[in-house]
Amino acid sequence: MSDTENMIVLEAVEKIYPGSSSPAVERLDMAIPRGEIVMLIGPSGCGKTTTLKMMNRLIEPTGGRIILDGDDVTDVNGDQLRRKIGYVIQQGGLFPHYSIADNIGVVPKMLGWDKNRIKERADELLHLVGLEPSTYRDRYPRQLSGGQQQRVGVARALAADPPVMLMDEPFGAIDPITRDRLQDEFLEIQRTVGKTICFVTHDLQEAVKLGDRIAVFGTGGRLAQYDSPDTVLTSPADDFVSDFVGGGAAVRRLSLLELSRLELHPIETEEKAVGNRNGTPVAEVDGSGRPVAWRHLPDRDAAGTTLVTVPLSGTVYDAVDVMLDGSASLVAVVDEEGLPQGVLHWNDLVAGLKTRERGA
Amino acid sequence: MTAVDLQPGVPTPAQQHTGGGESRGFLGTIKANYDLLVAPIIVVIGLIVMVAYVGSQTLDTIEERALEPANVFGQLGQHLLLTVYSTVLVLVIAVPLGIVLSRPGARRIQGAVLALGGFAQALPPFGVLLLLGFWEFGVRSAVIGLTLAALLPVLRNTVVGLQQVDQSLIEAARGMGMSARQTLFSVEIPLAVPVIVAGLRVALVLNVGTATLATYIGAGGLGELVQQALRLNRINLLFVSGAIIAAVALLVDWLAGVAERAIVARSG
């Protein structure tokens, strides 16, 4: 790959702490493509955080080169470099003595922006992360919940519009429900901003959900595998990765499969299906066209089967979830308006899911 | 509120809002801080009792002369000057020293310097003042002695206050591109201020009490009254001087407490 498509390139980067004979990170070669989210994951002490912190030189590498957007930044002024790279840590790391707006304005202030521009930028970013500026800009961090603080943390990292963001377990200390929502919002924001993001996590689920690529680190700072989430789950590079990914990889993979990418079975609604008693399931719909019950199913009693639905924007994992929940062996996939788009059968899961081209 | 100044090396001005962020009314402020009224009330009652007692006694000329307002207030002024000089000196010496000691490069000598501060505090102030009296009689020696004795609380609180700043905040600051210096002045010091101020309050109260001994090396202060009373064996005078010294110490501590609370509320 050429350097123009890679935002961050690590070349033989190495960190050996003074007084330690074995490296914390061992001759690491890694390229992070522009606009992608790369998840660094591995057991504790594997060097994933060290690697992240070497990218903005919070930790100085003892060997190798770091190339950011085509420029060798191994020896440039670290403070200047870090102002151009967003940085988010656990719990946001907000300054308790700064208001929310001032927290967001830290980097723009250092870059010498004028006050009005900083204020506008803070409002704009608060809006982006889903916090009403007029309510939150003058508050102090301790007046916000953990999830809100983390949102501000992300806003602060985006303040000077850096092309690269480094995130060190940002959602690690947040309760699972809020974390899930923050992850969704994070992906939503990323769709708008399109940053190159390097993200440390210890949660495989999170890595699979957020990452375009996953870098699995082994003990001693060795990069064991660097691949798409799908590949890491389905074909681990070695025993270490397969142990780390562990059992349940096949189930986790379900959450990677978007329903919109699948070939679904056709579904008929009652009006069109009068007299049509072939192999197509027929659903009863309400006044606005949303399916409410099964009228006819080809291979079983329609009255005894609950009609469950799953949105087209969901994943196969969601579909399995609603099927198990409703004790139904098939699920109607509906679009945003609730109109039926197709059917997914339980048997499809074991028979192999047919995907179509993305975007088709 | 607009963004605070973040120029390199300039301490961030204290926030205008109180901790809660909601603006309390005057009555609300009083309600929230009613405990601060206890000390002044006790002092006022004590002084009234003292004045009533002295009024009921017949004073001889020596007592009358010693208790003349001009005399008492003169000594009070000397006393407060001694306290202020020594506390300011403590502030100027101990806070920067504490900051330097908390830097990574100086961590190794931190223990040794703190031990030295502990040594200075453990020396009986009376002894130190008398020894300094051999060098020179007067205000200068007294201020040096008082400063030595009160150095440790401020030094230790500065070091501890800076150490207890959440490491993740320092990391966040550095990670955003603040230099070590900007991090110190914009993050570490503002967050350590409450602890440093608590140390200063201890030093101030120590100095107010110890300044009573300054009279023995000719530096004046309220100790003069006590010395006079003891020398001339005037019980009334002794009682009055004791009451005044206690009242001054309580009031100074009270003022320091009020200032501390205001500063802590502002620094978040």
Sheet holding A340-345, edge to edge: A309-311, A330-334, A340-345
CATH number of the domain that residue A335 is part of: 3.10.580.10
Residue B267: pLDDT band with limits 50, 70, 90: low
Phi and psi dihedrals of A93, rounded to 5?
A: 60, 35
- B57 or B223: which leads in pLDDT: B223
Looking at domain B73-266, its CATH architecture is Orthogonal Bundle (1.10)
Task: Tell whether ipTM is more than 0.85.
Answer: no
B175: nearest CB among A87, A138, A139: A87
Q: What is the DSSP secondary structure assignment for residue A210, as one 8-state letter?
A: H
Do A223 and A317 lie in one domain? The reply is no
The pLDDT value recorded for residue A318 is 86
In the predicted structure, residue B2 carries a pLDDT above the cut 50: no
Tally of structural domains, chain A:
2
pLDDT band at A251 (very low <50, low <70, confident <90, very high): confident
Say if residue A221 is in the same domain as residue A298: no
Asked whether residue A360 is assigned to any structural domain, the reply reads no
End-to-end CA distance of chain A, in Å? 28
Instruction: Check residue A274 and give its pLDDT.
Output: 53
Q: Which of A222, A254, A286 is the last residue of a domain?
A: A254
Residue A281 maps to a domain:
yes
The pLDDT of residue A272: 55
Q: What is the pLDDT of residues A17-66, one digit of tens each?
A: 888 888 888 888 999 999 999 999 988 888 899 999 999 999 999 989 99
Q: Which of A135, A108, A132 is nearest to A119 (CA)?
A: A108
Report chain A residues touching chain B, CB-CB < 8 A.
56, 58, 79-85, 87, 89-91, 93-99, 101-102, 105-107, 109-110, 115, 118-119, 138-140, 143, 156-157, 166
In angstroms, how far is CA A27 from the centroid of its own chain? 27
Residues of B in contact with A98 (CB under 8 A): 4, 12, 15
- Tens of pLDDT, residue by residue over B73-93, are 899 999 999 999 999 999 999
Question: Model confidence over A103-146: pLDDT tens digits?
Answer: 999 999 999 999 999 999 999 999 999 899 999 999 999 999 98
Task: Say if residue B185's pLDDT is above 90.
Answer: yes
3-class DSSP assignment, residue A198: strand
Question: Distance, in angstroms, between B260 CA and closest chain A CA?
Answer: 16
Mean pLDDT of A74-94: 90
Q: pTM (2 decimals)?
A: 0.75
What CATH number is given to the structural domain containing A108?
3.40.50.300
Closest CA of chain A from B167, distance in Å: 9
Give the model's pLDDT for residue B7: 37
Looking at the fold, whether A144 and A282 belong to one and the same domain comes out as no
Cβ-based contacts of A97 with chain B (< 8 Å): 12, 15, 190-191, 267-268
Beta-carbon contacts of residue B178 (< 8 Å; ≥ 6 apart) = A79, A106, A110, B186, B187
Do A56 and A163 fall within a single domain? yes
A199 and A276 together in one domain: no
CA separation (Å) from B209 to A335, B213, B215, B238?
80, 8, 12, 16
Angle value at C-alpha B224, between B220 and B229, nearest 5 degrees: 175
Say whether A90 and B177 touch across the interface (CB within 8 A): no
**Separation between Cα atoms, residue A37 and residue A54, nearest integer Å:** 17
In a domain, A357, yes or no: no
pLDDT-derived band at A100, boundaries 50, 70, 90: very high
pLDDT digits (tens, 9 = 90+) for B212-262: 998 888 888 888 888 888 888 888 888 888 899 999 999 999 998 888 888
Mean residue pLDDT of chain B comes to 83
Sequence ranges of the domains in chain B: 73-266
Looking at A254, A287, A304, the residue that finishes a domain is A254
Q: What are phi and psi of B249, to 5 degrees?
A: -60, -45
pLDDT over 50 at A102, yes or no = yes
Pairs of CB atoms within 8 A across A/B: 87
3-state percent breakdown (helix, strand, coil) of chain A, nearest 5: 35, 25, 40
- What is the pairing mode between strands A291-296 and A282-285? antiparallel
3-state secondary structure of A215: strand
Q: Which domain holds residue A282?
A: 259-351
Give strand pairing partners of A31.
A9
Q: Are residues A74 and A146 in the same domain?
A: yes
Do B175 and A91 count as a contact with CB atoms less than 8 A apart? Answer: no
Indicate the residue among A222, A238, A254 that finishes a domain. A254
More confident call, B59 vs B171: B171
In this structure, the answer to whether residues A177 and A227 fall within a common structural domain is: yes
Whether residue A244 sits in one domain with residue A287: no
Q: What is the pLDDT of residue A1?
A: 45
Kindly determine whether residue A109 and residue B268, on different chains, have CB atoms separated by under 8 Å. Answer: no
- Residue A77 counted as domain residue: yes
The answer as to whether A324 is a domain residue is: yes
